[in-house]
Amino acid sequence: MKYKGTVYIRIGPRRGEANDEELRILREKSEVKSQTFDTTPCLHTTIDDLDLDLFKSGYLPKMVSANILKGDKREIKQQLASLKLFDPAQDCPTVAGILLIGKDPSHILFGAYIQYVEFAGKSITSKVINERQFSGNLITILKEIDYFIKYTIQKQRPVFVTVLREEMK
**Judgement on whether residues 76 and 51 belong to the same structural domain of the protein:** yes
Q: Which of 88, 108, 128 is the last residue of a domain?
A: 108
Question: Residues of the chain with pLDDT > 90: what percent?
Answer: 46
Residues 126 and 68 in one domain: no
The yes-or-no verdict on residue 2 having pLDDT over 60 is no
Nearest CA to 85 out of 101, 70, 68, 103 is that of 101
Q: 20 is in which domain, residue-wise?
A: 2-33
Residue at 92: amino acid letter = C
What is the predicted pLDDT for the residue at 29?
Answer: 75
Q: State yes or no: pLDDT of 98 exceeds 80.
A: yes
pLDDT given at position 156: 64
66 inside domain: yes
Is 166 within the bounds of a domain? no
pLDDT of residue 169: 52
Helix, coil or strand: residue 21: helix
**157 — pLDDT class (breaks 50, 70, 90):** low
| pLDDT given for residue 113 in this prediction | 93
Residue 120, domain member (yes or no) = yes
Closest to 16 in 3D by CA, of 6, 28, 8:
8
**16 inside domain:** yes
Question: Considering the chain, what is the average pLDDT of its residues?
Answer: 84
Number of domains in the chain: 3
CA proximity to 42, closest of 93, 91, 86: 93
Which strands make up the sheet holding 6-11, listed edge to edge? 2-3, 6-11, 14-17
Does residue 164 belong to any structural domain of this protein?
no
The pTM (predicted TM-score) of the whole model is 0.70
The mean per-residue pLDDT over the stretch 127-156 comes to 88
**60 and 77 together in one domain:** yes
23/41 same-domain check: no
Same domain, 103 and 72: yes
pLDDT for 153 equals: 77
6/53 same-domain check:
no
Quick one: 117 and 151 in the same domain?
A: yes
Instruction: Say yes or no: 28 and 75 in one domain.
Output: no
Give the other-Cβ count within 10 Å of 60's Cβ. Answer: 19
